[in-house]
Amino acid sequence: MRYFHVDAFAQKPFTGNPAGVCPLESWPAAALMQQIAAENNLAETAFIVPRTDAAAEYDIRWFTPAVEIDLCGHATLASAHVLFTHLGLAETQVTFHSQSGPLRVAREADGRLTLDFPSRPPQELPTHPTGLTDALGATPLRVLASRDLLVTFNSEAEVRALKPDMARLAALEYVGVIATAPGTGELDFVSRFFGPRVGVPEDPVTGSAHSTLIPYWAEKLGKTELRARQISPRGGDLWCRLRGDRVDISGYAVTYAAGEIRVG
């Protein structure tokens, strides 16, 4: 099985979010894909299979080391990078069909890749989930939710200082917890993402979280074009746009390794 290790939302190795990408001709058993993702031990491994009835269209599935998930940004970006850079895809756009519907990735003139993802605006929760403050080790300003829990703070420093209790976070009934605050300088906002419930204690750069972050900050700041940075230890930069019920999430990607997986 061909295998690529790509750093997504990165312009040089050892930054951004590493993803595994396995291009396939047909689907293996889901149990095998889960085993491969666990062995890779990256936040996500993506598996892609071409559709025979349309050019530049693929089915895609994503697995963390623990579970299959419904939406993943960085591994989708990495999959497009592999197709454009290593597998000879000549088109400037590729469509991935997923549990979350069709996801398009466009190759921009400057080398960036732009994800076309669903917008998932968060809704304010009337009360904080039980145990949230203890799990975070801090009290957020606001608590909202979409697929993930969104907690807001006054400053980047507060988000950087978070040292959450992962066992307590994993007990919350959400895929992940997004912590966010206003950015400074050219940055409109910053964030971190914690997903111990799905086997990812802290995700370096989380494209899918920006399906929630973009509509939140677009409304709060009164603008649709946004610059963002995920301030994990590896870090990653994102260019964002709100387009009604869709969001554009752009970033770079670099290949770290390419080879084969041997499973038999």
CA–CA separation, 253 vs 113, rounded Å?
Answer: 8
Mean pLDDT of 113-136: 95
Do 189 and 141 lie in one domain? The reply is yes
Name the more confident of 144 and 127: 144
| pLDDT, tens digit, 9 for 90 and up, residues 8-37 | 999 999 999 999 999 999 999 999 999 999
Quote the number of domains for the chain: 2
Tokens of 28: 């293996």
Distance CA 17, CA 10 (A): 7
Is residue 99 very low, low, confident or very high in pLDDT (cuts 50, 70, 90)?
A: very high
What does the alpha-carbon distance between residue 244 and residue 246 come to, in Å, rounded to a whole number? 5
pLDDT at 31 (0 to 100):
98
What's the mean pLDDT in 183-190? 97
Distance of CA 24 to the CA centre of its chain: 22
Q: What percent of the chain has pLDDT over 90?
A: 96
199-220 pLDDT, tens per residue? 999 999 999 999 999 999 999 9
Please, what's the b/e burial string for 162-181 (b: 16 or more CB within 10 A of its CB; e: otherwise)?
bebeeebbbebebbbbbbbb
What CA–CA distances, in Å, run from 168 to 18, 55, 139, 145, 247? 26, 46, 15, 18, 31
80 and 24 part of one domain: yes
Beta bridge mates, 237: 229
Note down the domain range covering 87: 2-119+250-260
pLDDT at 243 over 90: yes
Are 159 and 171 found together in one domain? Answer: yes
Q: Tell me, what's the pLDDT at 53?
A: 82
Q: For residue 52, what pLDDT is reported?
A: 85
Give the pLDDT band (50/70/90) at residue 54: confident
CA–CA separation, 172 and 167 (whole Å) = 9
Q: Which helix (H) or strand (E) holds 61?
A: strand 57-63
Rounded average pLDDT over 78-83: 98
110 lies in the same domain as 171:
no
Q: Which of 44, 91, 108, 186 is catalytic?
A: 44
Is 222 within the bounds of a domain?
A: yes
Residue 245 in any domain: the answer is: no
Q: Is the pLDDT of residue 147 over 90?
A: yes
- Judge whether 44 lies within some domain: yes
* 44 included as an active-site residue: yes
Q: How far is Cα 207 from Cα 192, in angstroms, rounded to an integer?
A: 11
Amino acid 178: pLDDT: 98
Domain containing residue 205: CATH number: 3.10.310.10
Do 181 and 110 sit in the same domain of this protein?
no
In a domain, 136, yes or no: yes
Residue 176's pLDDT is 95
Distances (CA, A) of 203 to 13, 178, 210, 222, 251: 16, 10, 13, 28, 16
Tell whether 129 and 158 lie within a shared domain.
yes
Same domain, 154 and 58: no
Average pLDDT in the chain: 96
> What distance in Å separates the CA atoms of residue 170 and residue 195, rounded to the nearest whole number?
7
* Mean pLDDT along residues 104-129: 95
Q: Is the pLDDT of residue 264 over 80?
A: no
Same domain, yes or no: 112 and 87: yes
Q: Distance between CA atoms of 177 and 154, rounded to whole angstroms?
A: 17
Residues 167 and 205 in one domain: yes
Which residues on adjacent β-strands are paired with residue 226? Answer: 240
